Amino acid sequence: MTLKIGIPRALAYYAYGELWESYFKNLGCEVIVSPYTNKAIVDDGTRETVGEACIPIKIYHGHVMWLAEKVDYLFIPRLINIDIECKITFCPKFLGLPDLLKVSLPNLPNVISPNVALHGKKSRLMKLGIEIAQQLGRGALLGVISMYKALKEKKLPEVQQGKKGLNFALVGYPYFLHDDFLNFKIHDKLTAAGINVVYSSEVSKTQSSKYKKNMSKSLFWEFSNRALLATYYLLEDVKIDALIHLTAFSCGPDAMLGKLIELECKERGIPFLELTIDEHTGEAGIQTRIEAFIDMLALRRKGA
Amino acid sequence: MRIAFPYMGNYPIAFKMLIENIGHCAVLPPKPSMKTLSLGVQYSPEYACLPFKILLGSYLEAIEQGAEMIVTSGGSGPCRAGYYGILHEKILRDLGYNIPVVVFDSVFQKPRDFLSKLSAILKQSNTSWYKFAKVFNSAWQKLKIIDEIELASHHIRPLELNKGTVTKVVNSWLYQLDGTDKKGAMQELCNAAISELKQIPCKEGFIPLKIGMIGEIYVVLEPFVNFNIIETLGEMGVYVNRSISLTGWTKEKTFFDNREKRLAKKAYPYLKTSIGGHGINSIGEAVEYSEHRYDGLVHLAPFSCIPEIVSKGILTKISKQLSLPTLTVFLDEQTGKAGFVTRLEAFIDLLYGRREKGEVING
């Protein structure tokens, strides 16, 4: 019988989801990914999650609730470390996510919750492939092959280079930039105004790693660290005209990241806008702020 | 060099002694106040945690008093505190203050970095490593004595006949400790302080409620932030066991200490991995307080504190399972004393009610 594996379309799915889907399909499982975030999912998640958690965590809960009755296994990896630098981990809410879910949603089906601590080593990723396969009653060899094939199939992101006209950088975490419920389709609003949008999530590590020297200490959180390095690349190499930082209300790491980005933009005279989103944010407000930002930029350029 | 440092609880007198005795001038910022908070809030990111904001305000006050350098502890995350120093320095520079903020990460994780920074400070005042070792030893002892006197006062305050006696005695001895540098004299002072505390007239046959206090280190230790909660509850006749002390924390972070391992083990059924800060400790301590038959828990954290948000989520389950009432309060610059004290009073009433109904066996 084909096992049904549920993957929530939230948080790290937007960074690693393609790899996981390929892996489980190669393993002979049927993969069910929850739908794109919608109001029902957000409402469900908000109701069950600890109140002080940020909206992406609440949304994750909602996706898990959607999947719970429809699958044999839920895939909820515990992300501890990806980078070769051991001190770069993930936000504590990621680290404690499986435990938080257990408390908030006690009637979940089987959960596959492996510790993902890769330290930049492909061998550890292969070992993970074996561990998960064996948990599902599949062989170790199939596990390795499935993971290896999934890695090969992974497409590399293509950075949209700076184009003629205005180039805006959209900086934030993948689960913000690519979840239309959270990003209020800002990309479309900007392109409708004739602006070329470049995502921080599509700057590769190879492109941005040369800017590690700008930082006396890496940020402790994988996505934050990548976003800051990508910001340097977007400011120095792509030479963007403005930067919009998309973040969640009460996001801990972003309190640090946001300020660091703001100061870097200020130093280079690049206009900076921070948009804070939570479950109460209205589209009209976002629209107004973006229009005002674009207008101010236009005025500035006229006066320059 | 005029050197300032973070202000937390009663510990500054020990850091002041350390800096002065290695030939520098200690700039002691004023005790955190509404002015400190206001300055810090004005220039900090909105969702930075409260300790970040208060420390920034404190540094600005220290700069007003002529500080030329700030020295602080670091960390390796994922709690944000390990990055404070770097961001503080950038914000200060943006405000026009070119003051170095020297961050001391763990000597065991980054020995070369630690020693080279320390060496630069010692060279400036021509202090030898030998002298530093001696001074550090004395400062460590002063910290331990501060902890010892405070912890003793926590036991006695709920029992005092005349409200305010314990606090007066503690403050007077800490004032004297500030003026004492020699190890022998400090130890004698400690013994005298404890002895005087034990002689304070107390209520007969009164068994106070026992509350465990857990959460993020700065809000647990800094009275300005927690509205002097231990004193407030103590004067209400409640014994508060503060799970955190600076010497305890430093031991956990720098020396091989069993406490962290023990707490992680107790937390394991509820939280399988460390989440930074005091997160997993809060869970482990909750379990231990339940084992020791405490009446309730007060869980304190700054608003947006990441590890403690996870802890809060998990504590709701523990609180139910172990039948241990838990009051969680997230503190920020908008928290008002009246509201906070009202919640505490209601919580205490609830605990007394439980005790009367015989739902808890205490003593």
A282: which residues sit within 8 A by CB, 6+ positions away? Answer: none
Q: Which residues of A touch B106 (CB under 8 A)?
A: none
Shortest distance between the Cα of A212 and any Cα of chain B, in A, equals 15
Distance, in Å, from the CA atom of B31 to the CA atom of B232, rounded to the nearest integer, reads 19
Encoding tokens for residue B207? 């068994």
pLDDT digit string, tens, across residues A80-104: 999 888 789 999 999 999 999 999 9
Residue that the structure tokens 């949008």 belong to: A197
A232: which residues sit within 8 A by CB, 6+ positions away? Answer: A208, A211, A214, A264
A201: closest CA among A223, A184, A179, A232?
A223
Q: Which residues of B touch A263 (CB under 8 A)?
A: 90-91, 94
For residue B95, give the DSSP letter: T
DSSP calls for B290-351: HHTT-SEEEEEEETT-HHHHHHHHHHHHHHHHTT--EEEEEE-TT--HHHHHHHHHHHHHHH
Q: Which residues of A touch B90 (CB under 8 A)?
A: 259-260, 263
Spans of chain B, pLDDT less than 50: 361-363
pLDDT digit string, tens, across residues B30-75: 999 999 999 999 999 999 999 999 999 999 999 999 999 999 999 9
pLDDT at A153: 87
Instruction: With a cut of 50, say whether residue A127 has pLDDT above it.
Output: yes
Q: Any idea how long chain B is?
A: 363
A55: closest CA among A273, A221, A245, A277?
A277
pLDDT digit string, tens, across residues A232-266: 999 999 989 999 999 999 899 999 999 999 999 99
pLDDT at B362: 45
Backbone angles phi and psi of A36, in degrees to 5: -60, 145
pLDDT digit string, tens, across residues B120-178: 999 999 999 999 999 999 999 999 999 999 999 999 999 999 999 999 999 999 999 99
Beta-sheet strands, E only, within chain B: 2-4, 25-26, 69-73, 101-104, 209-215, 238-242, 296-302, 326-331
Encoding tokens for residue A70? 């429809």
Residue B92 contacts A where some CB pair is shorter than 8 Å: no
Q: Among B42, B43, B47, which would you mutate to test the A interface (most chain A Cβ atoms within 10 Å of its Cβ)?
A: B47
Distance, in Å, from the CA atom of B42 to the CA atom of B57, rounded to the nearest integer, reads 9
pLDDT at A196: 93
For residue A221, give the DSSP letter: B
B150 and B178 Cβ atoms separated by less than 8 Å: no
B66: closest CA among B29, B22, B91?
B29
The DSSP bridge partners found for residue B203 are none
pLDDT at B256: 53
Strands B209-215 and B101-104: unpaired
Average of pLDDT values for A276-287? 91
Distances (CA, A) of B26 to B6, B57, B220: 12, 17, 25
Complex ipTM > 0.85: yes
- For A266, name the nearest residue in chain B, comparing CA atoms only: B94
B230 CB-side CA count, 13 A? 25
pLDDT at B245: 83
pLDDT at A206: 87
Distances (CA, A) of B47 to A58, A92, A289, B44: 18, 16, 20, 8
Residue B201 contacts A where some CB pair is shorter than 8 Å: no
Q: Letter for the amino acid at B225?
A: V
